[in-house]
Structure 1
Amino acid sequence: MNRGFLLQLYRVWAVGTFGIFMLVLTPLIVLSFVFGEKWGGKLAYKFLNFWAIGWASIAAIRYEINGLENISPNQSYIFAANHNSFLDSPALVWAIPNDFRPLGKIEMSRVPVFGLMYRYVVIMIDRSNGRSRLASLVEMKRRLDGGTSILIFPEGTMNKTPEITNLQPFQDGAFRLAIETQTPIAPIVVENSGKLLHPLEGLRVRRGTIKMTFLPPINTAHLDKKDTAALKQQVFDLMKSHLDKKQDILSV
């Protein structure tokens, strides 16, 4: 049988089953919040975990998680991850052992069906609106005070050319928040997701393995606002060094 036909059949299967999971689980995720923000959020993320691993298993996408020994499940962190694909979000939902909420763009809330669920499980930000940025900052601080970790993609947007530039320049937000709240910042390096679903290739998903590595967290208790740029560069260098080493190994 033609390999191209099999690949197209696989993509129809993968996208179709993702849609089925979304249609079935979105109402359950939304209804979870009748139990309140704390317990409803925990239940909603149980459903999201089931979605992440259930769909990945059906779509022949595997998750490889390294460095979990660096993370305490009872500690609040600001997780900082690189962002190469729409597959990053479900992979990180499965990988992160802590109760957390991601910071997400308000534009995603306009996607039919998915957007309904999205409004409940992320802290939304409209970067073009100063009030929205301030409100999201206040909300993230409140969540951290309550023991919930925050996931931020410090590149600010998805990397459209991960095969050329493995990291885009970081924005200040995650690092300023980490210093202001004296919260450890925990870098996460995500690999291979851009190859399985490239950001410029629509729904042309491929099977394979997404690798996620938790690097040792960085303590911010001794830092103040003037250290923001240095902290940002430190995290960038750590993540880039990890990615560069992997590329060097592959090129040997």
Structure 2
Amino acid sequence: MRILSLLYTVWCAFWFVTIFLLLFPFTYVFLQREKWKPYAHYINRLWGKLFFPLAGIRFRIEYRFRPEPRGTYVFCANHFSYLDIATMGVILDNYYAFVGKHGVKRVPLFGYMFAKLHIQVDREKGQSRAYSLNKSIRTLAQSRSVMIFPEGGIFTKHPPKLHLPIQKGAFIMAIQQQIPVVPITLLTNHLLLPDEVPLRLHPGTVRAIVHEPIYTTGLTQDDLPALIEKWRSVVERALEGEGEGV
């Protein structure tokens, strides 16, 4: 079984890299001008739609809310697996910016794309966190959605338990711009690609729930703790119920 698992992971890694390299020239061109960047984002989504069928990974998503493709939201999901970022491009149709670790920029080609298209943050440096928060707010003000993992990374030792405390940034920006927070629960990614050494990908089904939005109209920063708690409660209930109805 270990040999089969290794062979499957190598097969998936081959297609992961090959499809990315085949599409990267088009991505590179579209990253050269700001008005072209939505096309680069679309190519990233196309990458996921090509890769996952080749990997034998299916999707089973419950949309309790269908985000408007041109709407602006703060998407907030739990984060237990390195698979989470890739699956978002299949789950969501929106043009959004990820808020992710600055270390990604060291990955050849992918790091270039991420730095040009998304928002980087060094969570060890307060100045970097402030910069990323301000850039995220500017992104929302330009009617582009933001996708963020409020746990701040893959930190939980006991998935599907959330890592606490929840980081505030996503909810600060949502209130500041009066933008709805859309909770997303990723139910099975940590089973398909556990955060373990060595990394091994397993075939199966990505199961997720896109929840009803939490509206922030009229909220102030005094409402921040209640907003965070509401998001946590929605996601935790789904995780504890193992996605009943999915």
Q: So what's the TM-score if we normalise by structure 2? A: 0.92
Taking the TM superposition and a 5 Å limit, the aligned residue runs for 1:28-39 are 28-34=26-32, 36-38=33-35
Rounded to whole Å, the distance in 2 between the matches of 1:247 and 1:96 is 18
Match of 2:20 in 1: 22
Shift of 1:160: 4.3
Task: Name the Cα RMSD after superposition.
Answer: 1.9
Rounded to whole Å, the distance in 2 between the matches of 1:83 and 1:73 is 23
Rounded to whole Å, the distance in 1 between the matches of 2:127 and 2:9 is 41
Match of 1:185 in 2: 181
Q: Is 1:108 equivalent to 2:104 in the alignment? A: yes
Shift of 1:11: 1.6
| Aligned length in residues | 244
Task: Please list every run of 5 or more consecutive structure 2 residues that lacks an aligned counterpart in the other structure.
Answer: none
Task: Please list every run of 5 or more consecutive structure 1 residues that lacks an aligned counterpart in the other structure.
Answer: none
Q: So what's the TM-score if we normalise by structure 1? A: 0.90
Select 2:239's aligned residue among 222, 227, 243. 243
Map Cα deviations across residues 212-239 of structure 1 (whole Å, 9 max, x no partner).
2111001101211111111101110111
> Which has the higher mean CA deviation after the structures are superposed, 195-204 or 19-28?
19-28
Structure 1 counterpart SS, 2:167: coil
Q: Which residue identity is paired with 1:37?
A: E
Q: Is 1:133 equivalent to 2:152 in the alignment? A: no
Q: Is 1:99 equivalent to 2:95 in the alignment? A: yes
Structure 1 counterpart SS, 2:217: coil
Select 2:203's aligned residue among 199, 202, 207. 207
Taking the TM superposition and a 5 Å limit, the aligned residue runs for 1:1-252 are 3-34=1-32, 36-38=33-35, 40-67=36-63, 69-163=65-159, 165-169=160-164, 170-246=166-242
Structure 1 counterpart SS, 2:234: helix
> Which has the higher mean CA deviation after the structures are superposed, 129-138 or 141-150?
129-138
> Which has the higher mean CA deviation after the structures are superposed, 66-75 or 216-225?
66-75
Map Cα deviations across residues 117-142 of structure 1 (whole Å, 9 max, x no partner).
22122111122233322222222122
Rounded to whole Å, the distance in 2 between the matches of 1:248 and 1:57 is 25
Rounded to whole Å, the distance in 1 between the matches of 2:54 and 2:144 is 30
Q: 1:121 to 1:70 in 2, by over 3 A?
A: same
Shift of 1:103: 0.4
Rounded to whole Å, the distance in 1 between the matches of 2:243 and 2:62 is 17
Q: Which residue identity is paired with 2:19?
A: F
Map Cα deviations across residues 79-116 of structure 1 (whole Å, 9 max, x no partner).
00011111111110111121111101101111233212
Structure 1 counterpart SS, 2:94: coil
Identical columns (%): 31
